[in-house]
Amino acid sequence: MKRPSLGSLLLALIPFIAMCFSVSLWDRIYPMVLGIPFNFFWLILWTLLIPPCLWGAYRLERRSASHPRGPRREGATR
């Protein structure tokens, strides 16, 4: 199995931090944005930001797939 690259994993971690772990920072009503309570606005915003994050990860994965750094070492997936 090919492990994902560190860069793409970090890109994937960003939405988890923003939408999940940081909940106590953004779970509030004010400031309301576009008439929507802040917590809802925040989650909607990040739903829109996930595709760019994954697009970045996709580019990184493609690059590492097309430039393999030599034959993979035995135990590299360990």
Partner 1 sequence: MTPSGLALTLIFTIIAAGSFIGFFAGSRYKMDLEQWTVAARGFGLLLVWLLMAGEIYTTFTFLGASGWAYSRGGPALYILAYLPLGYVIWFFIAPEIWEVGRKHGLQTQADFFRVRYSSEFLAAFVALVGVVFLIPYLQLQLTGLGIIVEISSSGGIGRTPAMLISFVLVAAFVLTSGMRGIAWVSVLKDGLLLFAAVFVGFAIPHIFFGGIGPMFLALVRAKPAHLVMPGATTNLGHKWYVSTVLLTAFGAGGMWPHNFAATFSAKSSDTLRRNAIALPLYSITMPLMLFIGFAAVLILPGLTNGDLSMLMIVRKAFPPWFLGVIGGAGALTAMVPASIQILTAATLFAKNLYRPVFSPRMTDEQVGKLAKAMVIVITSLALFCAIHSFATLVSLLLLGYAGVTQFFPGVVLGLYWKRATMFGVFTGLVTGIALVAFLILSHHDPLMGINAGFIALCANLAVTIATSFLTPCHPNSFDPSDSPLPS
CA–CA separation, 24 and 21 (whole Å):
8
Helix or strand or coil: residue 67?
Answer: coil
CA–CA separation, 35 and 45 (whole Å):
14
Q: Is 23 in the site for partner 1 (CB under 8 A)?
A: yes
Q: Between 31 and 50, how does the x/- string for binding to partner 1 read (CB under 8 A)?
A: -x-xxxx-xx--xx-xxx-x
Q: Which residues bind partner 1 (CB under 8 A)?
A: 1-4, 8, 12, 15-16, 19-21, 23-24, 27-29, 32, 34-37, 39-40, 43-44, 46-48, 50-51, 53-55, 57-58, 61, 71-72, 74, 76-78
